Amino acid sequence: MPGTKCSSVWGFGFLAVTIINLASLLGLTLIPVTKKPYFPKVLTYFIGLAVGTLFSNAALQLIPEAFGFDPSADGYVFKAVGIFGGFYALYVTEKILRIILKPEHEHGHGHSHFQPSESVQQNGVISSVDFTSSDKASITSDVSVEQGSCRWLRGRRLASVKTVAWMISLSDALHNFIDGLAIGASFTVSVLSGFSTSIAIVCEEFPHELGDFIILLNAGLSIPQAVFFNLLSAMSCYVGLVLGILLGSAFAPSIIFAFAGGMFLYISLADMLPEMNMIASEQAHNTRAEIFFFVIQNAGILTGFAMILLITLFGGNINLG
């Protein structure tokens, strides 16, 4: 890799990861507005944006790169658009049928872990948070939290942090490491490819980190402790970035793109999409509200798709170094 290109890859790579990691602090700033009536609508849009960017980045860039396709040749972009079209057509059809038929079991069941049921106490700990059933099962088996002296970050020793906090932090660290790996490998292909992958990841990090932040607070951590754990897990993204750049510079990083593409598809379809639908089912109590949330979901998904598609089609005409 030439010296100038090498410098730009490292510089843009660290800049992108730093911006992404700032998303881990968004939970702190957004806690006061999580009880506002408009918050589910805003969150729905951002989750839809995450679904659109992650799915499109996997279909339009990561997986084609893994197979060695050139965006300017082979006509693969429009074939990949067909993949998105198949997903989107089925998604829209299913949603319209559900709005028309109104399955009774969809309303009043389950809770999104983004929605705290009580406000944050003055000491900085959430008293009660609604969770999905899997979250409740995890927390039920956790160890007790010591309420003692101010010996570590406002009150609780490291050894007394609930098991769920460690589970969330370790899974986040692995997730962020793979994100960094994908970003690093993408930047070795081109700066635009790196930014495209970074855009998909930052759109996913906003709702993901907010949900994790609320879970950490409910596990018994104070706000400073929750911020510390989020930032600690975010640091693994830098480790992944370094490894991704080094591996991508040494050989064609096809396996990294294939792995990251599969991960992005899973997160978008098996994680973010059900969460988005759950929020809508909880908040939409009549047909008009269902249609409104459906419009917001579509706006987010199509915005994310359009962003990645434009970068894929015209990114080669832009020179960032």
Question: What are the extents of the domains in the chain?
Answer: 3-140+156-317
pLDDT score at 28:
67
Please answer whether residues 153 and 222 qualify as being in contact, where contact means their C-beta atoms are separated by less than 8 angstroms. yes
pLDDT score at 298:
96
- Output 302 or 312, whichever has higher pLDDT: 302
pLDDT in tens, 132-180: 444 444 433 343 333 333 333 344 444 455 677 778 788 888 888 989 9
Please answer whether residues 218 and 126 qualify as being in contact, where contact means their C-beta atoms are separated by less than 8 angstroms. yes
Query: With bands split at pLDDT 50, 70 and 90, how would you rate the model's confidence at 104?
Result: low
Q: Between the ranges 20-24, 54-58, 62-66, 308-312, where is the mean pLDDT highest? A: 54-58
pLDDT, mean of residues 29-52: 85
Query: With bands split at pLDDT 50, 70 and 90, how would you rate the model's confidence at 30?
Result: confident
Query: What is the C-alpha separation between 51 and 311, in angstroms, rounded?
Result: 17
pLDDT in tens, 70-88: 766 667 888 889 999 999 9
pLDDT score at 247:
84
pLDDT at 52 over 70: yes
pLDDT, mean of residues 111-128: 46
Question: Letter for the amino acid at 223?
Answer: I
pLDDT score at 115:
52
pLDDT, mean of residues 287-303: 94
Question: Letter for the amino acid at 169?
Answer: S
Please answer whether residues 12 and 194 qualify as being in contact, where contact means their C-beta atoms are separated by less than 8 angstroms. yes
Read off the tokens for 202.
Answer: 């930052």
Mean pLDDT estimate for the chain? 77
pLDDT, mean of residues 246-255: 77
Query: What is the C-alpha separation between 251 and 131, in angstroms, rounded?
Result: 44
